């Protein structure tokens, strides 16, 4: 399923690029500016007590958005809603903090938010960047009258209330939260409130024109993965992994569900010996654990001391996107919005990789995974470089993913973010056909001939003109002409806004 670049130079260039890219990130706090250390005081040239007070006042205080259980020594548990003082945020993903009892330890930085910037995030009902389609599936799954969420609208800076009602039949209504000239928020002009939480409270007691009163919001929402299982941890002790059922098997061997230290769900890929250049990969794994995005499958670490080596990642309950599309063809095929949302999610993950100069090399629906709440994440990024199987090494190999490859890869094995963009266009085609094989039964040689002649895949039935236009741009013969993932993401979001007024 994976492919290796024959041009080692290209591979090395990409590795170097991500090393420096990740290097850029560490050593800075979340805002991208160097963090300010808190001075213990007393050294020569130390400012006056007033100035000192100012420095102390600048101490960063964060609030826990999710609970976190410290398992590894040196980590600190987080209690949802509690406050912590940040002592060291020089590493991107694990910060040293102090709790109210004075205990000090490392916590995952994506589990907390600066108190001053907390905004709506402290409320159970606020779900942030959740698309209309995902909000609908979440609320339908809860199936409770008056169940609601507030989410960021696809128009930046605006919010939407999504509300589930069973009257007259189960469905979800979406309401824009509007603001009047006095800056007050309202759903119906008759009932204006000074803030969104006040507005939500008002509508808890009065439907005020809504399909139902606001009664409850979804609970037990998934907690995001951490970058590695603890601070500075990427080597995992296999004795701490309890292996469970088989999830599937692929090029490298069997993948099993597991529990780390009896509490964290993981997927464990057991690498068949001789299938990958292990030492190079183990080095790279340290960098890969630092890549973190809501649309990338998180690499937790590796068990590299024994053979076979294990790759330990976040567990995704619905398995590969390709099988998910095929299994749910009947319901998904009729929901173009959901299909487009899946494409946008993959695009967001790829835009993150592109920003970090990281090339996937084997992007396809089979290499994406689906988790709870219809979350789609990109998996197996960069792994292709470490495959040893000759059949993957050149475009002539029988296992080379010819059908996802652009002309410059077929001709010169020249991988780039723009070759990922071509593959992304094919992935969009797979999504809109609910998992059909691109180019049907055509032989690889016939596909190569077509691609060289500029013949592209036909528009899938479920795919409307604007989406097909985006696919076509991904298949521009010349890589420079293809849009970047950053641009693709904007284009697809604007298509989805046009599809339905969000």
Q: Please, what is the minimum distance in Å from the beta carbon of residue 311 to ligand ADP?
A: 9
Least distance from C-beta 367 to ligand ADP, angstroms? Answer: 7
- Tokens in use for 36? 């300010």
The two three-digit tokens of residue 263, written as one number: 């509490």
- The answer to whether the beta carbons of residues 91 and 227 sit under 8 Å apart is no
How many helices (H) and strands (E) are present in the chain, helices listed first? 13, 18
Pick between residue 197 and residue 250 the one whose CB is nearest to ligand ADP.
250
Bond from prior residue into 168 cis (ω within 30 degrees of 0):
yes
Residues at the binding site for ATP are 269
Q: Could you tell me which residues are beta bridge partners of residue 241?
A: 260
Nearest distance in Å: CB 296, ligand ADP: 11
**Whose Cβ is closer to ligand ADP: residue 258's or residue 425's?**
258
Binders in 305-324 for ligand ADP, by CB under 6 A:
313-316, 319-320
- Phi, psi (5° rounding) for residue 141? -65, -40
Min separation Cβ 470 and ligand ADP, Å? 26
**Residue 369 binds to ligand ADP (criterion: CB under 6 A):** yes
Of 497, 339, 488, 314, the closest CA to residue 417 belongs to 488
CA distances from 493 to 59, 87, 273, 499, 500 (A): 38, 38, 43, 10, 11
Of the candidates 213, 467, 160, the residue with the CA atom closest to the CA atom of residue 340:
467
Q: Binding ligand ADP by CB under 6 A: which of 94, 185, 186, 252?
A: 252
Identified binder of ligand ADP from the candidate list 199, 255, 296, 346, rule CB under 6 A: 255
Is the CB of 126 or the CB of 252 nearer to ligand ADP? 252
CB 439 → ligand ADP: shortest distance, Å?
21
Closest residue (Cβ) to ligand ADP? 250
- Using the minimum distance from each CB to ligand ADP, give the nearer residue, 381 or 475: 381
The answer to whether 78 contacts ligand ADP (rule: CB under 6 A) is no
- Cα separation values, 6 from 184, 271, 281, 396, 418, Å: 60, 21, 16, 11, 18
22 is a site residue for ligand ADP (CB under 6 A): no
Listed in order, strand segments (DSSP E) in 356-458 are 368-370, 376-378
Considering the complex, what minimum distance in angstroms separates the CB of residue 265 from ligand ADP? 9
Beta carbon nearer to ligand ADP, 200 or 383: 383
304 within 8 A of 282, measured Cβ to Cβ = yes
Which stretch in 98-106, 241-249, 454-462, 479-487 sits in contact with ligand ADP by CB under 6 A?
241-249
Question: Measured between alpha carbons, how far is 80 from 202 in angstroms, rounded to an integer?
Answer: 25
Task: Report if residue 380 touches ligand ADP, rule: CB under 6 A.
Answer: yes
Pairing of strands 310-314, 241-250: unpaired
Non-local (6+) Cβ contacts of 299 within 8 A are: 285, 288, 289, 291, 311, 312, 313
Interface with ligand ADP in residues 270-309 (CB under 6 A): 297
Q: Rule CB under 6 A: is residue 251 a binding residue for ligand ADP?
A: yes
Candidate list 208, 224, 238, 250; residue touching ligand ADP; CB under 6 A: 250
Q: How far is the CB of 234 from ligand ADP (least distance, A)?
A: 17
Distance CA 378, CA 129 (A): 18
Q: How many residues bind ligand ADP (CB under 6 A)?
A: 20
Contact between 358 and ligand ADP by CB under 6 A: the answer reads no
Q: Does 248 engage in binding with ligand ADP (CB under 6 A)?
A: yes
Is residue 140 left, alpha or beta, with left meaning phi > 0 and alpha meaning psi from -120 to 50? alpha
* 170 or 248: CB nearest ligand ADP: 248
232 annotated active-site? no
Active-site choice (362, 380, 420, 502): 362
Contact set with ligand ADP (CB under 6 A) = 1-2, 247-252, 255, 267, 269, 297, 313-316, 319-320, 369, 380
Residues with a catalytic annotation lie at 362
């Amino acid at each position: 399923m994976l492919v290796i670049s024959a041009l080692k130079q290209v591979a090395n260039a990409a590795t170097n690029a991500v090393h420096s890219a990740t290097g850029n990130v560490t050593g800075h706090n979340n805002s991208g500016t160097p963090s300010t250390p808190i001075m213990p005081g007393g050294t020569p040239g130390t400012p006056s007590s007033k100035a000192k007070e100012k420095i102390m006042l600048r101490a960063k205080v964060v609030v826990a958005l999710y609970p976190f259980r410290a398992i590894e020594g040196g980590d600190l548990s987080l209690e949802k809603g509690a406050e912590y003082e940040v002592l060291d945020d020089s590493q991107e993903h694990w910060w040293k903090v102090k709790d109210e009892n004075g205990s000090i330890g490392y916590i995952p930085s994506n589990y907390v938010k600066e108190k001053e910037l907390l905004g709506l995030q402290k409320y159970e009902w606020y779900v942030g960047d959740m698309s209309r389609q995902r909000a609908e599936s979440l609320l339908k799954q809860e199936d409770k009258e008056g169940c609601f969420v507030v989410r960021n609208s696809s128009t930046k800076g605006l919010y939407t209330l999504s509300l589930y009602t069973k009257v007259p039949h189960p469905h979800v209504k979406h309401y824009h939260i509007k603001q009047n000239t006095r800056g007050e928020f309202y759903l119906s002009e008759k009932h204006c409130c000074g803030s969104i939480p006040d507005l939500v409270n008002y509508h808890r007691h009065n439907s005020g024109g809504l399909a139902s009163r606001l009664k409850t919001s979804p609970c037990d929402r998934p907690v995001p993965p951490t970058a590695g299982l603890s601070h500075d941890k990427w080597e995992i002790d296999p004795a701490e992994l309890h292996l469970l059922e088989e999830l599937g098997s692929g090029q490298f061997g069997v993948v099993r569900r597991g529990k780390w230290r009896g509490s964290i769900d993981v997927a464990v890929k057991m690498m068949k010996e001789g299938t990958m250049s292990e030492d190079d990969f183990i080095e790279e794994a340290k960098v890969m654990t630092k890549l973190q995005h809501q649309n990338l499958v998180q690499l937790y670490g590796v068990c590299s001391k024994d053979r076979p080596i294990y790759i330990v990642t976040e567990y995704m309950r619905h398995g590969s996107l390709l099988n998910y599309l095929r299994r749910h063809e009947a319901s998904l095929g009729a929901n173009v919005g959901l299909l487009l949302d899946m494409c946008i999610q993959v695009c967001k993950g790829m835009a993150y990789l592109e920003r970090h100069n990281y090339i996937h090399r084997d992007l396809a629906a089979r290499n994406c995974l689906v988790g709870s709440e219809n979350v789609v994440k990109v998996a197996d990024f960069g792994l292709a470089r470490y495959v040893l199987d000759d059949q993957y090494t050149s475009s002539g190999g029988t296992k080379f993913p010819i059908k996802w490859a652009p002309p410059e890869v077929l001709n010169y094995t020249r991988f780039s973010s723009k070759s990922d963009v071509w593959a992304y266009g094919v992935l969009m085609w797979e999504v809109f056909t609910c998992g059909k094989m691109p180019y049907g039964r055509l032989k690889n040689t016939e596909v190569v001939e077509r691609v060289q002649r500029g013949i592209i895949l036909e528009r899938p039935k479920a795919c409307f003109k604007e989406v097909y236009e985006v696919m076509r741009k991904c298949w521009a013969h010349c890589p420079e002409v293809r849009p970047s993932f950053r641009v693709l993401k904007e284009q697809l979001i604007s298509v989805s806004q046009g599809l339905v007024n969000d």
